[in-house]
Amino acid sequence: MYQWHRTIGIITIIPVIFWTLSGLMHPFMAHFFKPEIAHEKLEIKTINQNNLRLSIQEVLKKNKIQQFINFRIVSFNNITYYQVKNLIGDLLYFDTSNGKQLENGDAIYAEWLSRYFLDDQKSSVKNNEIITEFDNQYKYVNRYLPVYKVTLDRPDTMEVYVETSSSKLATYNPTSRQFFIWFFDTFHNWSFIDAMLTFAFSGGYHATTKWDPYTLDQMVYEPTFKTKEISLANNKLDLDWNRFQNASLITFNDSIYFRCQLDEKTTGRFKTPKSDSNSKWNKKESPKTEVVYINATTNKIVPNLDIQYAEFLAYYFTDGAPKAACCEMMSPELPEESEASLENVKLLESKVITNFENREYGFVNKRLPVIKLAYDTPEKTTYFIETSTSRLAAIVKNSDMVEGYSFAILHKFLFMDWAGKNIRDFTMVLAALAILIVSVLGLILFIKK
């Protein structure tokens, strides 16, 4: 028994060494090899009404597009475009001044975004490809799909992932981070088993992922709009055009609305939250904006519709509300633990979340701003809805919170947050280093004997 104890102990020491080494790299890379870029967000600017010489209806009719999913406005290379999502999901770009389509516009915009985020207008593009699934370099933690992966010809071989449908940066990986992701994935997550046991492991993995599938990337409400049914021109909306930033369409309660994003007034209702600048939960914050909904028939602003629309989306994603006649597709299934319907469930809380300060909705969820909807279900299920894209950003229930807090407190040492990020990471490094030293000393003693 003693011999077996020693042998098994030595065998288990090997993965412990790998785990501690790769774990040590996490805070180490974050502090000493953390890549920095010029911009992590696209600066949102107001759009001059004069730049919208043609309405979206005029542009669509000129290009013989009778039906579409949605539109919004983007500006790059000193030109303003309507970004239109067609029925098969492609993003098309039309000049708002003359209605001409920009050929290969989505790839061009992806490259422009990448150069903007890096502030690099000189390096040539080595590769520009669409990523539709998560892989060993672009992990599911990045959330956004599909994205463009743009690789520039630079010494750091920077890879930038951007979501053109929202103009957002998903992630960026220079050579050092690419190596770290591989090292962490191999020695911390043991991804090498996937290549030693490819047949058995892939089959088992495929089966187990069906138990709790990742479906958030599919949870989006995208009805079809008919061009002829939208009578009000988007460049004639009755709003404060000095603050206008963007517009898109939604359908709600058998009516069509323009969802307009306006620059926040100086006396706006949003206030910058007070928080610890060292806290990882406050790294990203949504720009302060005001959202108004304008009826596409009456040209009148409908107040307080953002929360109501979020509630509708929560119903939609749980089959708690009837789907519009134009949308014959079925919404993807939610994980089993989600409530089947919210039709008769009491809403306990609803509010707009503009930052990741709240650990209930951490920065890992990516999307901001979102609307929090907490329902009185047995699991106290909470939905976080991004109304700007009609997406379900996250689902949180009691068991998720328990698991999340256990991982955050026991694995990431977030109980040390009161001391600040630097002290917390230093404490975590010391703990992992102590385990590593004990493991290595034990292995040395075994080899010597």
pLDDT tens sequence across 198-248 = 444 455 544 554 455 556 778 899 999 999 999 999 999 999 999 999 999
- Record the tokens describing residue 101, joined without a space: 């389509």
pLDDT of residue 13: 79
pLDDT of residue 204: 55
pLDDT of residue 179: 73
DSSP 408: I
pLDDT of residue 270: 39
Q: Which residues of the chain have pLDDT under 70?
A: 28-34, 186-195, 197-215, 266-287, 320-341, 357-359, 399-415, 449
- What is the number of residues in the chain? 449
CA distances from 272 to 123, 168, 342, 385 (A): 37, 22, 33, 21
What pTM value is reported for the model?
Answer: 0.78
pLDDT of residue 399: 65
- The 10s digit of each residue's pLDDT in 388-423 is 999 999 988 876 666 666 666 666 666 677 777 777
pLDDT of residue 325: 34
pLDDT of residue 214: 55
